[in-house]
């Protein structure tokens, strides 16, 4: 893997983009443009910060997160691929797939009209085939500007059909999750993972009154996260995503998570743009699929 100096040589833009040593000595790209500041690690191509100019940090990052190979950073935007949750046929397999816990390749960094776009990729290898036999290339585009625009592009590089699940498992920072609400899912059916995956209809806005772990079905709608404590509304606009996941572990589960903890669970809410379960994606050889999430305040 290239050194931080080599990465800076390749992608640094004085005063705008620098590659630095992040937590756990992991390389991260730090963005400070006129429109926004932000950070993305090569580890998992993991966005850990996005702060539009004049606003507070939008993403939640656990102060107890680990930063090491083989472990996902807790917070920011983990990329779940090629399965979501536990692997159906292998309880030993890593939860949410294997791309969020490995180092990605840095492809390019671009600065245009105050927006910095970082492109990374990862692809099938002997080590991925330990868990999953398919040939693939997963490219990721993260644009840090007045909006945070994320795009996961899967290419079937094999000669067999490729079926996968995917999620941009974004953690949003909130002042107090018990006072926040999410609009845009009214009337949508969801699977309640806290109640045996029972299918239920969403009535009105989503409010968090206990452990919440829901997979909303067949929905492409925009999401609106209202936070009366931080006095802001965050919009999430999806493309090519048929599921939305809403998650907060609440106090007990959070206390049992050493990389989260009981004192921070009120500051986070996951709104995840995804294709999972019956909405898993199947690609013919050579075909591509691009899922997008755009995040903006207002």
CB 45 within 8 A of CB 243: no
CB 214 within 8 A of CB 190: yes
Q: How distant is the alpha carbon of residue 37 from its chain centre?
A: 17
Instruction: State the nearest-atom distance from the C-beta of 48 to ligand TA6, in Å.
Output: 14
Select from 272, 273, 281, 291 the one that contacts ligand TA6 (CB under 6 A): 272
Other beta carbons less than 10 A from residue 250's beta carbon: 19
- The verdict on 132 binding ligand TA6 (CB under 6 A) reads no
- The verdict on 85 binding ligand TA6 (CB under 6 A) reads yes
- The verdict on 165 binding ligand TA6 (CB under 6 A) reads no
Q: How far is Cα 101 from Cα 72, in angstroms, rounded to an integer?
A: 5
- The verdict on 193 binding ligand TA6 (CB under 6 A) reads yes
- Of 57, 272, 287, 289, catalytic: 272
Beta carbons within 8 Å of 211's beta carbon, 6+ residues apart: 194, 248, 249, 250, 252, 253
169 an active-site residue? Answer: yes
Instruction: State the nearest-atom distance from the C-beta of 16 to ligand TA6, in Å.
Output: 31
64-67 long-range contacts (CB < 8 A, ≥24 apart) are 64/258, 64/259, 64/260, 64/261, 64/264, 65/23, 65/259, 66/24, 66/259, 67/22, 67/23, 67/24, 67/26, 67/41, 67/43
- Of 64, 147, 169, 289, catalytic: 169
- The verdict on 95 binding ligand TA6 (CB under 6 A) reads yes
Q: Which of residues 239-258 bind ligand TA6 (CB under 6 A)?
A: 245, 247
Length of the chain: 298
Select from 213, 216, 250, 268 the one that contacts ligand TA6 (CB under 6 A): 213
Select from 169, 173, 238, 266 the one that contacts ligand TA6 (CB under 6 A): 169
- The verdict on 72 binding ligand TA6 (CB under 6 A) reads yes
Instruction: State the nearest-atom distance from the C-beta of 270 to ligand TA6, in Å.
Output: 6
Q: Which phi and psi angles does 255 have, rounded to 5°?
A: -65, -30
Instruction: State the nearest-atom distance from the C-beta of 208 to ligand TA6, in Å.
Output: 13
199 an active-site residue? Answer: no
Q: How far is Cα 193 from Cα 213, in angstroms, rounded to an integer?
A: 5
Query: Residues in contact with ligand TA6, total (CB under 6 A)?
Result: 11
Note the residues at the interface with ligand TA6 (CB under 6 A): 72, 85, 95-96, 169, 193, 213, 245, 247, 270, 272
Which active-site residues does the annotation give?
A: 169, 272
């Amino acid at each position: 893997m290239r050194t931080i100096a080599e990465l800076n040589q390749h992608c640094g833009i004085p005063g705008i983009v620098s590659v630095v040593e992040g937590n756990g000595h992991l390389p991260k790209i730090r963005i400070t443009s006129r429109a926004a500041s932000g950070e993305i690690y090569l580890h998992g191509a993991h966005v850990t910060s996005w702060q539009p100019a004049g606003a507070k940090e939008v993403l939640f990052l656990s102060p107890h997160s680990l930063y090491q190979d083989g472990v996902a950073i807790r917070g920011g935007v983990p990329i779940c691929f090629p399965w979501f949750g536990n692997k159906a046929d292998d309880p030993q397999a890593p939860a949410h797939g294997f791309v969020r816990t490995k180092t990605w390749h840095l492809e390019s960094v671009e600065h245009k009209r105050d927006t910095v776009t970082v492109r990374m990729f990862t692809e099938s290898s002997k080590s991925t085939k330990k868990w999953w036999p398919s040939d693939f290339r997963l490219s990721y585009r993260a644009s840090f500007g007045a909006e945070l625009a994320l795009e996961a592009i899967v290419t079937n590089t094999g000669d067999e059909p490729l079926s996968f699940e995917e999620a941009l498992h974004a953690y949003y920072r909130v002042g107090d999750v018990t006072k926040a609400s999410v609009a845009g899912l009214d009337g949508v059916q969801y699977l309640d993972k806290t109640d045996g995956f029972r299918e239920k209809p969403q009535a009105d806005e989503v409010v968090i009154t206990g452990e919440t772990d829901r997979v909303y079905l067949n929905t492409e709608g925009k999401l609106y996260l209202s936070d009366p404590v931080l006095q802001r509304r965050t919009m999430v606009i999806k493309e090519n995503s048929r599921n939305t996941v809403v998650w907060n572990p609440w106090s007990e589960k959070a206390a049992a998570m050493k990389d989260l903890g009981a004192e921070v669970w009120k500051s986070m809410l996951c709104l995840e743009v995804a294709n999972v379960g019956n909405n898993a994606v199947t690609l013919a050889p050579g075909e591509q699929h691009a899922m997008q999430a755009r995040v903006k305040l207002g």
